[in-house]
Amino acid sequence: MTANDPHDYYRPELIVIPCGSRKLDHRAPAGDLYTGSYHRACRTTADALQPDRLLILSARHGLLDLDDVIDPYDTPHGTNDAITPQTLLAQATTRNILHLAPVIALGSAHHTSLVRTLWPYAHAPLTGTRGMGEQMARLAQLRKKYIPQHT
């Protein structure tokens, strides 16, 4: 985020974070199922930003609340059984969340593009990063900026 970062002036109504390929080996709430370091970094950063609502964008299930219980799966984005923008739109409409703003998308370019099919104005603070290492560094910067420092 930059000096002109819109997050400096608001608390996000919604943050959407990516799922992850590393998962528990048993049925669990979505907030616990994903165990990979990238997902956890996005989750920790989202928690630091204190959104009114946090959703996970699952490659198979679409928009998930943290307490939605699901089975582990192996569906990468872009495959035939992956979530589509049309299904995401139906989910967001059913959940009555299309009107939410501001929205932040934490994740890769592909993740952000899916989020922006629903919220074209979504802020994407990882835009411009070149790979996982830069994304993890940017997430760490965001956490440092928004997690209160204890003395």
Q: How confident is residue 148, by pLDDT bands cut at 50, 70 and 90? A: low
Q: Print the domain residue range for 135.
A: 11-144
DSSP 23: B
Question: Is 107 domain-assigned?
Answer: yes
**CATH number for the domain that contains residue 83:** 3.40.50
Q: How many separate domains does the chain show? A: 1
Name the residue among 132, 52, 130, 118 with its Cα closest to residue 86: 118
**What are the pLDDT digits (tens) for 73-101?**
998 887 888 999 999 999 999 999 999 99
Question: Is 151 domain-assigned?
Answer: no
Tokens 């990468």, located at residue:
76
Cβ burial of 77 (10 Å; 0-12, 13-18, 19+) is middle
**What are the pLDDT digits (tens) for 1-19?**
444 455 444 679 999 999 9
Distance of alpha carbon 132 from alpha carbon 129, whole angstroms: 8
